[in-house]
Structure 1
Amino acid sequence: MSGFAVRFVISLSKYSPSQERNLTVPTYFIAIAGNIGVGKSTLVSLLAQHLGWEPVYEAVAENPYLVDFYNDMDRWGFHSQMFFLVRRLQQHRELVQRIGPILQDRSVYEDAEIFARNLYHQGHLSERDWQTYFELYQTLTHMLKPPDLVIYLRASVATLRRRIAGRGRAYEHGIADSYLQDLNQLYDEWAERFTLSPVLTVDTDNLDYVQHEEHLEQIWARISDRLHGRDYLALEQ
């Protein structure tokens, strides 16, 4: 194994143990969150193959507002985000009704907490539209059963840029570093304050779970520990 350190952070400071649900049956629901290009879909695919769990990828839906949104973000930002939110809520509701362990690529929470919030920060959503949208999001998500665990994959902008270039999607090449950095900051803030599920934060800058199976094994070991209530602390001298 290479000499670099792999850093895992379990964010439990604001998570109440009373929120734990009965995990004695294998019906785990794990959501994998993270920025564009961080490796969510890849990890979902590899873990699903490794464990025999069901992978659920981002729902591809034709957003009827998308063309209008790109032409006039201020006018159509609210409509576009509402469409995405409804579709993501529908998918989440369907997932929690399934039997068997599930790995989800991108959670319902990221639409509002990251992408819609970023549009608001950029001035593409008015204060009134943002408050209406976010109150609806909070009301509906608190009525849904949350995941048993959220895995937050984080990476530096340099790492994200390298991975985005490696997967060769032409439409992603124009994404600005400043946009990725803004999303990184929003993701970090969200992972810190999220309380509906326990959060396992994985720093992926020095991880390559495609080429190094031991990295995948380490991630699964931490997931398993968290699902079964095991934590381990080793202090460095």
Structure 2
Amino acid sequence: MKHAPFIAVEGPIGAGKTTLATMLAEEFQLPVIKEIVEENPYLDKFYQNMDDWSFQLEMFFLCNRYKQLEDTVNEYINKDKPVISDYHIYKNLIFGERTLKGTKRDKYREIYHVLTDDLPKPDIILYIRADLDTLMARIAKRGRPFEEEISPAYMQQLIEDYDDAMASLAVREPSTVIVTIDGNQIDFVENKEDFAAISAQLKELMK
């Protein structure tokens, strides 16, 4: 790779994005950009009533992630410094397309493209893919109160949305390398060999 890589870790809720991004940042001595989640004031209300609070929730996430990505560009990418993030800004469309409807969805799409179309895209995406049982177990284990309202049906649809999104990104961003990690079989937290294998693959891609 001729320039310092911009790496993103992605996957549905509970996949382990932040954990893996943090571990890789420590392994490669990289700065890590972590998305704001629990600070979103609309999360509790959203999971209790998605229709009423989806637009406020998604706009909060979009604006905060845009600011983080703008800062990342100025602090790292424009200075050709490597950086890893625990999300791809495209996730805003994944969630927005699922939770928003009608004119609100149209407005959100327009705002998303105005904010993000001219921003750099990741060179490498590590996509943690896992099935419903695995994700629901991890969500329950970490015990975030606002996630107690997440339904299995919503999660199953999100899994499918993520698969579709990664396929779309492969076409939309052909220069981005997408690596799929089997979150059902690979335990990068408890199994050192699993994490070492991911690290070795990333090291090769960063050359």
TMscore range, shorter length? 0.7 to 0.9
Aligned ranges for residues 86-105 of structure 1 at < 5 Å? 86-99=63-76, 100-105=81-86
Could you state the TM-score of these two structures normalised by the residue count of structure 2? 0.85
1:158 and 2:133 correspond? yes
On the 8 A contact 2:51/2:99 being kept in 1, the answer is no
On the 8 A contact 1:31/1:105 being kept in 2, the answer is yes
Q: Shift of the alpha carbon at 1:72?
A: 5.6
Identity of aligned residues (%): 35
Q: Shift of the alpha carbon at 1:171?
A: 3.2
Q: Which runs of 5+ in 2 are unaligned?
A: none
Does 69-78 or 49-58 show the bigger shift? 69-78
Match among 182, 187, 191 for residue 162 of structure 2 = 187
Match among 180, 187, 201 for residue 222 of structure 1 = 201
1:97-156 CA-to-partner distances (Å, cap 9, x unmatched) read 22332111122111222x111113xxxx3x222122112212332210111111111101
Match among 5, 12, 15 for residue 35 of structure 1 = 12
Q: Which runs of 5+ in 1 are unaligned?
A: 1-22, 229-237
On the 8 A contact 2:125/2:179 being kept in 1, the answer is yes
Matched AA of 1:193: S
For 2:72 and 2:144, the matched residues in 1 are separated by 28
Could you state the TM-score of these two structures normalised by the residue count of structure 1? 0.75
For 1:109 and 1:202, the matched residues in 2 are separated by 19
Distance 1:63 1:40, change over 3 A: closer
Q: Shift of the alpha carbon at 1:199?
A: 1.6
3-state SS, counterpart of residue 125 of structure 2 = strand
Q: What's the RMSD between the two structures over aligned residues?
A: 2.2
Aligned ranges for residues 60-139 of structure 1 at < 5 Å? 62-63=39-40, 73-99=50-76, 100-113=81-94, 115-120=95-100, 125=101, 127-139=102-114
Q: Shift of the alpha carbon at 1:91?
A: 0.7
1:198 and 2:177 correspond? yes
Does 47-56 or 167-176 show the bigger shift? 167-176
Runs (4+) of structure 1 moved beyond 6 Å? Answer: none
Distance 1:82 1:217, change over 3 A: same
Matched AA of 2:2: T
1:153-178 CA-to-partner distances (Å, cap 9, x unmatched) read 11011111222222233432332211
Matched AA of 1:24: K
Match among 16, 23, 26 for residue 49 of structure 1 = 26
3-state SS, counterpart of residue 146 of structure 1 = coil
